[in-house]
Amino acid sequence: MEFRPTLSIDRLISELNALAQVSEADPPVVTRVLFSDADLRARAYIKGLCLKASLEVHEDAIGNTFARWQGSEPGLAPVATGSHIDAIPNAGKYDGVVGVLGGLEVIRALQRCGARPKHSIELLLFTSEEPTRFGIGCLGSRLLSGTMTPDAARKLIDKDGVSLEEVRRKAGYSAPLEEVKLPGGYYKAFVELHIEQGPLLEQQKLPLGIVTSIAAPASLRFSIEGAGGHAGAVLMPERRDALCAAAELVLAIENAAKSSGAIDTVATVGICEVFPGAVNSIPSRVRLTLDLRDTSLARRDAAMRAIETARQTIVAERQVSISEELVNADAPAQCAPEIVEALSQACAKHNLASMKMVSRAYHDSLFMSRIAPVAMLFIPCRNGYSHRPDEYASPEDIARGALVLAETLASLAS
């Protein structure tokens, strides 16, 4: 398909700014947790834009949203793009959103070119890429790809004790979760545009990154039980302080990542809940949540084993109990060489320099790779900042990403 895409970047940026106003927190903070009022209003905003662009919109039982521009040969597998619009607490306005609104603008630009591609082009908005509400990321793409079973999803409960089943029905999604999974081969290709969320492109002064693989994420919850008591009356030799044991575990986790032998192992304990949480009471129970990632599955699993050894030592030395629950341990994804090549050619056609890179963040592409050939296109973000309100990607960088995405989708769908 021969085309000259004319992207309306001003409109894209104004839509991005408008979506950033739909938040549970005051600007510039963006917080949109799954099925919150803000998430539902943001979804309605995107669906409205898709309908305005004459796309065929439908949603599945978990709220994944599909907006299709029908190709001239509707029997062919569609080419898909998209990302997510949910945002962790205290986030910015670009993570995920650039891939959704950018993908939409790309489809509109291709529509304006006049020539209809053979393959349909479909925009996807995935439900809950962020793990905030149910503790597990990429809920929509996990179910869609069959990586998570409907039974496992039905067991999910949020911190207020409300089940996923309950909240999704309340949000208007009541079909059986069994209907969410798509068969392998359903899509010809999936390409996700995203901010890098790290500093490499900016440091290398490069406008674009072509992702060749996505790191392997894992998450574990630890529950540490010690003995509570009066902060003044219980003397130190008598104590079984759960928080002190947790502190040792956190440091052991840091050490497991630092001593893995590669810079690619990263471990974070981002949640620490202390019970009862009173200044004059010895902590009797602590809950920790660990996020552990690596580009190598073997190394990630070796770090998990090192953490397990540390757990056993701490239990023995501190006379506490530490139970653990594996939330997820996913394999890494390799991007499809033919899509990486299509992205490279699109960059070359427009004289845009790029580098091949690994995605250290996870994305819905990680799970889409289980059912379709995928690749990702990264644009720089200022200082590499992400998951914070001062996250920023320039209109120029967004425009370059959208242009290469347009070229790539047109070539894959032709």
Binding residues for ligand GLV, rule: CB under 6 A, are: 130, 137, 361-362
Provide the minimum distance between the beta carbon of 376 and ligand GLV in the complex, in angstroms, as a whole number.
12
Nearest to 361 by CA among 302, 295, 305: 295
Q: By C-beta, is 36 or 120 nearer to ligand GLV?
A: 36
Q: Is 196 an interacting residue with respect to Mn ion (CB under 5 A)? A: no
Size of the site for Mn ion (CB under 5 A): 2
**Using CA atoms, how far apart are residues 157 and 281, in angstroms rounded to an integer?**
29
User: Residue 53 burial (CB < 10 Å; 0-12/13-18/19+)?
Assistant: middle
- Among ligand GLV, Mn ion, none, the one that 243 touches (CB under a kind-dependent 5 to 8 A) is none
**Using CA atoms, how far apart are residues 124 and 128, in angstroms rounded to an integer?**
12
- Interaction pattern, residues 91-130, with Mn ion; x per rule: CB under 5 A: ----xx----------------------------------
Please tell me the number of Cα atoms within 13 Å of 365 on its side-chain side: 35
**Using CA atoms, how far apart are residues 197 and 42, in angstroms rounded to an integer?**
22
Q: By C-beta, is 143 or 361 nearer to ligand GLV?
A: 361
Q: By C-beta, is 208 or 256 nearer to Mn ion?
A: 208
Q: By C-beta, is 222 or 362 nearer to ligand GLV?
A: 362
Could you report how far apart the first and last alpha carbons of the chain are, in Å?
A: 5
- Among Mn ion, ligand GLV, none, the one that 362 touches (CB under a kind-dependent 5 to 8 A) is ligand GLV
Provide the 3-class DSSP secondary structure of residue 358: strand
* Number of residue whose CB is nearest ligand GLV: 361
Beta bridge partners of residue 399, listed in sequence order:
none
348 phi and psi angles, rounded to 5 deg: -65, -40
153 phi and psi angles, rounded to 5 deg: -65, -35
Q: By C-beta, is 63 or 96 nearer to Mn ion?
A: 96
User: What is the CA 160 to chain-centroid distance, rounded?
Assistant: 23
Provide the minimum distance between the beta carbon of 278 and Mn ion in the complex, in angstroms, as a whole number.
34
Provide the minimum distance between the beta carbon of 363 and Mn ion in the complex, in angstroms, as a whole number.
6
- DSSP string computed for 18-37: HHHTSSSS-TT-EEE-TTSH
**Using CA atoms, how far apart are residues 126 and 103, in angstroms rounded to an integer?**
13
Provide the 3-class DSSP secondary structure of residue 396: helix
Q: By C-beta, is 35 or 362 nearer to ligand GLV?
A: 362
Provide the minimum distance between the beta carbon of 113 and Mn ion in the complex, in angstroms, as a whole number.
29
Sign, Cα dihedral of 175, 181, 186, 187: positive
Provide the minimum distance between the beta carbon of 137 and ligand GLV in the complex, in angstroms, as a whole number.
6
Provide the minimum distance between the beta carbon of 361 and ligand GLV in the complex, in angstroms, as a whole number.
3
CB-based contact 80:189 (threshold 8 Å): yes
Q: By C-beta, is 95 or 196 nearer to Mn ion?
A: 95
Q: By C-beta, is 63 or 137 nearer to ligand GLV?
A: 137
CB-based contact 194:377 (threshold 8 Å): yes
Provide the minimum distance between the beta carbon of 297 and ligand GLV in the complex, in angstroms, as a whole number.
16
- Among Mn ion, ligand GLV, none, the one that 94 touches (CB under a kind-dependent 5 to 8 A) is none
Site for Mn ion in 59-98 (CB under 5 A): 95-96
At position 283, the amino acid (one-letter code) is P
- Among ligand GLV, Mn ion, none, the one that 190 touches (CB under a kind-dependent 5 to 8 A) is none
Provide the minimum distance between the beta carbon of 71 and Mn ion in the complex, in angstroms, as a whole number.
27
* Number of residue whose CB is nearest Mn ion: 96
- Among ligand GLV, Mn ion, none, the one that 92 touches (CB under a kind-dependent 5 to 8 A) is none
Helix (H) or strand (E) holding 258: helix 242-258
Chain contacts with Mn ion (rule: CB under 5 A): 95-96
